[in-house]
Every structure is written in C-alpha cells, then in structure tokens.
Amino acid sequence: MIVDPDEFPIMRRWPPRRPQAIQLYTLNTPNGAKASIMLEECGLDYDAHRIDIGEAADQLTPEFMSLNPNHKIPAIIDPDGPGGRPMGLWESGAILLYLAGKTSRFLPADGAARWQTVQWLMFQMGGVGPMMGQLGFFHAYKGREIEDKRPRDRYAAETRRLLGVLDRQLAGREWITGDYSIADIATAPWVNNLLTKYDAGALVRFDEFGAVSAWLDRFMARPAVQRGMQVGAA
C-alpha cells in the first residue's frame, strides 16, 4: 500500500525513495543500530533516512515529531502493517518485537523461551542502555568536564554489575538465551559502543568479562550486523 503523506507528515521532509518499502528514520547510535540490524537480519526491504540529532536537531522538527512525539530515533513506517494498513512505530524495543512478529524470526513463537527472550530484551531496555548511556555522558562527552567523578564512578560500577550479569548468563552459551535473538540484537550494540565511542573498556575492566567479549566478537562478525551498523552514518 502507498502511504499517504497527509497521514504521515514526516514523509514530506524525508520523501520515500521506494514507497512500498519500510521507512526507517535513524542514526548509527546503539538504539538506531538495533532497528537497522534487525531489518538486515530479517531481509526486509527498507529505505533509511538519516536523522541528525546534533546541531541540525532533526528529531525536534514538527515532521519528525508527527511520527514520534518523544523525539527519539529510531522510528519506522511500515506500509504493510497490521491488516495491510500503514503503521508508524517508535521505541527500539517495540520495533524489534514488531519486526520479530512480522517475520517470525529471532523470537520464539511461544512458551518459556519466548518470555525469557523478552525478559532479556527488557534487561537491555531498562538497564544496559540507560546505564551505559549515562556512563558515556560522564566519561566521554560533556559530563567529563565535571570535576566531581562520583556520577561517573556510579555509572561505571553499575555498568560493571550489568556486564557481570550478562557474563554469567553467557557462560556456556553462544547467545544470550541460547539461540540468536532480539535480546542479542538489542544488547550488543550498546556493549560495542561502550568500547568504541565511549572508550570505557579500561574504566569498567572489560577484559574480566571473557564470555561477553567472545559473544560480542561473534555478533560483530555477522554480515547483517556489519551492514546494519553502517546505516545512518554520516
């Protein structure tokens, strides 16, 4: 179905190149990477539109906020949504769950395995992302100018605790819940960002988390991950 720009005003600012494809509004941040990696892993056709959240502040424009009133990336429009109707969706975890349901991939269909996967997705959404993001602010960005290092150290300690939880879960497992899933797709971009953009590996003594390190290497070696990580880059 062709999406009506009157229904989704964001399309006036970022016109679809292929109107039949899923429209992705993103940047190559950890949250943005979740959506693009999932789209690549599922083999879904999509158009990517780069949303500059820096000086341009694209996320604060009326057009972007018409799709996501919380003005965060990523967001999508699926022309072939539920019932064949176009649907917009935001929040990276919701997008992962939606695409998993649409394709029947990377999330067990039912039973305990399904809810264990959702549980670890929530672990990322409620813990890994917020805590590592705060650590990044205080260690790598404007917060590093604050002389009092107690805020940074608080988030470093919590990040270490979360890495310990993840390391114990990954002991003897290839992926977080056994099979590769949206739990891995949600979590690994944040751990990668901790080491690359935040340069916080030494601060949190990342070399002590061998199972997490091996898991991250497996994740980053996947071709779909490598493609997805580049989406939204400058």
For residues 21 and 101, membership in a common domain is answered with: yes
pLDDT at 4 over 80: no
Q: Show the domain range for 219.
A: 111-226
Q: Would 232 be classed as within a structural domain?
A: no
CATH number for the domain that contains residue 125 = 1.20.1050.10
Distances (CA, A) of 152 to 80, 116, 166, 232: 44, 31, 21, 28
The count of domains in the chain is: 2
For residues 98 and 150, membership in a common domain is answered with: no
Predicted structure pTM score: 0.97
What pairs with residue 50 in β-bridges?
A: 26
- 130-189, pLDDT tens digit by residue? 999 999 999 999 999 999 999 999 999 999 999 999 999 999 999 999 999 999 999 999
For residues 24 and 129, membership in a common domain is answered with: no
Angle (CA) 130-133-137 rounded to 5° is: 135
